[in-house]
Chains A and B, each alone.
Chain A
Amino acid sequence: MGRLNSPEELERFRSEILSQRDVRQPLITVCGGTGCHASGCHQVVDAFRKVMEQHAQGNGVGLRVTGCHGFCERGPLVVIHPQKVFYQKVKPEDAAAIFEKTVLKGELLEHLLYDHPATGEKIGKEEEVPFYKKQMRIIFGNNGSIDPQRIEDYLAVGGYRALAKALFLMKPQEIINEVKKAKLRGRGGGGFPAGVKWEQCRNAPGEIKYVVCNADEGDPGAYMDRSLLEGNPHSVLEGMIIGAYAIGSHEGYVYVRNEYPLAVENIGIAIRQARDLGLLGRNILGSGFDFDVKVSRGGGAFVCGESTALMASIEGNVGEPRAKHIHTVISGLWERPTNLNNVETWANVPVIIDRGADWYTQIGTEESKGTKIFSLVGKVNNTGLVEVPMGITLREIVYDIGGGIPGGKKLKAVQTGGPSGGCIPESLMDLPVDFDRLTEVGSMMGSGGMIVMDESTCMVDVAKYFMNFLKDESCGKCTSCREGTKRMHELLTDITEGRGTLEHIDLLEELGWVTAEASLCALGGTAPNPVLSTIRYFRDEYKEHILNKRCPAKVCRALLKYRILSEVCTMCGRCAKACPSGAISGKVKTKKQEGIPFKIDQEKCIKCGMCFEACKFKAIEVE
């Protein structure tokens, strides 16, 4: 296919693609997202290929490796169309049976179906799985039906229709008005109204303007931008082209971390394919509008997700933030007006233009419209990526979608917003999730990390973990952030190791205040959140560590005390063998000799927990 020179040619090409596709024809889709990749989806794909090559009817069946479906916990995922049969935890050896029984005969393979966690009932279709039921997948939904390396698949689901509409039926200001009306807010964490930003950039003086896509997602455990860029790169690209047209920019950058190799590869392929079809580059769709995109690969510094540090990095400088008293929409990349939005924000744009702001604003709360993709991880049954309407409660996300807490344990807190977000306690689980509510309770939306914690999580330890991350990832420029995060980590370490005093809590609060107030960028501005929010909601747990030298969750090793219950001890001696510090003494009982119950010398014990794990008789108690 050559260049498309008009919207009519685009539609003709789309009809051509659709006419070659028969939705009634069997199609096997295998999730090729990062999670399924890790659990071996490519061996499954190879197995399907082999089976289909050898089978007489193999030719009539399609096989497609798609983007991430989100239910990573249960990968590799396979969906058989047209019936939409949903198989989870598929192994290469299942390929033959799936092909012969399900694809050809329409029979279900019981052992690959998902069991309803409450009723134990087998669920046959993807949309009936509780994990998907309460989601609203307007941005992420196409991931599961397209091969991200084929632009035809994106066109088949209506791709680039919004671009044609924007270029030929709307004026730049109308596009901006539509985005403003949709109340689209930046999904990277700031929540700044995208339309307002676009307008400021459009009105900024200067011929050369840039648009940038921030794909430097760096939160531990968060991977929604990664999966979107890997799974549906054209949706991000289309959003950028529409934005560039509205702003009056002809050059854009996708800043993506090199640790996301598949995202780098797929966006690169998407750019080339869009260029070849005349959807990117000179004279897009014959409209006279020029815009092209370059990929800039980042070295993986967390701080480069901060807009000014990211721009410095694209320029080839050290990724260090600078003061934004003159906003980046006036003077950003190479001191030109620059509009930066993150992956998910850009992916929202085609949806808004295509379906209109009136439709879009029906979703969400008063000030936060649309959906948000969260990376639901931690102590929750259904780990994965979930897209939910703004305003859904944390409880619905954790219990209805996430399937609750494993092992019958109690929910303790949910940490939102990545490493510099806050911990929201169980008592606030009915909080509607949107930008402003999360900020009110001392956390933030961030880019969408959501870590579920149960009763076996120590909140002081959690704060210490995040502070350790931040003290390493702070760029180190501002004294308040570099020294503040380091000292907060030091104080938290003291508390978890039994050296804490009540003054430690006061000092943490004071340091937290200074780090947030005195630092230049949002990294320092939000860095104390994990500390301040855990002190706010779990002060008693801090006090327990300090006053009674006890860790209620039994996590902080230095505060634990291991003891052998002599009445339970079978005198087998496994604990003594496992002990690396020779702290356990006793005498093994055999047929020939009487034993002596084993004992731990507290002076020598290094609290490693090896004995606890070695004991088969639950004779070792942790205090």
Chain B
Amino acid sequence: MISFMMDGQPVEGKEGGNLLEVALDAGIEIPHLCYHESVKPYGACRLCLVEVFRNGRSRMTTACTYPVQNGIEVHTGTEKVLRARRMIMELILAMCPGDKKIQQMAQEMGIEEVRFKKEEKDCILCGLCARVCDEVVGAHAIQFASRGDRREVTPPFGEEAKNCIACGACVLVCPVDVIGMKEEGDERTIVRWKRTLKMKQCKVCGNYFAPWFQVEKFREKAGLPKDFFDVCYSCRG
């Protein structure tokens, strides 16, 4: 284990871990949007800024991408850190003023008004959907495209996501819930990626429970027997 100080308290983190997970484990609250424990840290939203003192020098950095190191001193709530976080939150709020989660986070950070022109975007470009699709699901159905303020997450060429297995992992991790999934009859649609797939029917209860592509992919990946997904999760007992 690696030991260091965080907000005056001695803390420990495992080799290769990052500051944010240590802070969250220790019950220190740091706002974050693009971090999720199931994927690699990315450092896009910049909300989890902290100040790290090392070898007598201080620097502001994102806690999610900073590896734990012996002897460092981390401060999660300095004036500088709070000032930067507030501006970043305001920028996100100006971009997506309609997002409930963003509104709530901004309010908690004491942001009362937005000093910029409000846009009407919904996606905050944290990239969690694309990273879960790559790193966890392995479907590689969506990705970031374009640079600068034209950046977006999209299936190839903005068309239907042909590699999407409609598993819904992206819907689950999206912090602002803007991807959307609906099920009608034997079909599931991932709204944002324009992908509709037929679902498999449970041999016991007759319910449609998951898209064919998804169960096949998971069965192959986990090396499960052919008939494993004939029965749905609830009826498996």
Residue B172 CB within 8 A of the other chain = no
Contact partner of B149 (CB less than 8 A), chosen from A301, A486, A518, is A486
- The answer to whether B43 and A518 touch across the interface, beta carbons within 8 angstroms, is no
Contact flags A124-156 to B (C-beta < 8 A → 1, else 0): 000000000000000000000000000000000
Residue of chain A at shortest CB distance from B117: A490
Comparing B86-94, B186-194, B222-230, the segment that makes contact with chain A is: B86-94
Residue A422 CB within 8 A of the other chain = no
Residue A553 CB within 8 A of the other chain = no
Residue of chain B at shortest CB distance from A480: B46
A contact residues around B66 at 8 Å (CB) = 323, 325
Residue of chain A at shortest CB distance from B92: A479
Known contacts A479-B91, A514-B84; is A474 also within 8 Å of B67 by CB?
A: no
Residue of chain A at shortest CB distance from B52: A325
Nearest chain A CB to B175's CB is how many angstroms away?
13
Contact partner of B148 (CB less than 8 A), chosen from A471, A479, A490, is A471
Nearest chain B CB to A523's CB is how many angstroms away?
11
- CA of A477 to CA of B147 in the docked complex: distance in angstroms? 9
Known contacts A473-B148, A518-B84; is A482 also within 8 Å of B67 by CB?
A: no
A contact residues around B91 at 8 Å (CB) = 479-480, 483-484, 487
Contact partner of A474 (CB less than 8 A), chosen from B116, B124, B148, is B148
- CA of A518 to CA of B92 in the docked complex: distance in angstroms? 14
Known contacts A477-B44, A487-B91, A511-B87; is A518 also within 8 Å of B147 by CB?
A: no
A contact residues around B182 at 8 Å (CB) = none
Please report which residues of chain B, range 1-60, place their CB below 8 angstroms from some CB of chain A when the two chains form the complex. Answer: 42-47, 49, 60
- CA of A484 to CA of B88 in the docked complex: distance in angstroms? 9
B contact residues around A486 at 8 Å (CB) = 148-149
- The answer to whether A323 and B65 touch across the interface, beta carbons within 8 angstroms, is yes
Known contacts A323-B65, A517-B60, A517-B84; is A478 also within 8 Å of B148 by CB?
A: no
A contact residues around B61 at 8 Å (CB) = 323, 325
- The answer to whether B67 and A478 touch across the interface, beta carbons within 8 angstroms, is no
Residue of chain B at shortest CB distance from A504: B115
A contact residues around B84 at 8 Å (CB) = 480, 513-514, 517-518
Residue A476 CB within 8 A of the other chain = yes
- The answer to whether B46 and A518 touch across the interface, beta carbons within 8 angstroms, is yes
Residue A428 CB within 8 A of the other chain = no
- The answer to whether B88 and A482 touch across the interface, beta carbons within 8 angstroms, is no
Residue A510 CB within 8 A of the other chain = yes
Residue B221 CB within 8 A of the other chain = no
Contact partner of A480 (CB less than 8 A), chosen from B42, B88, B95, B117, is B88
- CA of A473 to CA of B150 in the docked complex: distance in angstroms? 10
- CA of A318 to CA of B151 in the docked complex: distance in angstroms? 12
Residue A520 CB within 8 A of the other chain = yes
Contact flags B95-117 to A (C-beta < 8 A → 1, else 0): 10000000000000000000111
Known contacts A301-B147, A518-B84; is A476 also within 8 Å of B60 by CB?
A: no
- CA of A477 to CA of B127 in the docked complex: distance in angstroms? 9
Q: List 5 A-B contacts (CB under 8 A).
A: A472-B150, A479-B92, A483-B88, A486-B149, A514-B83
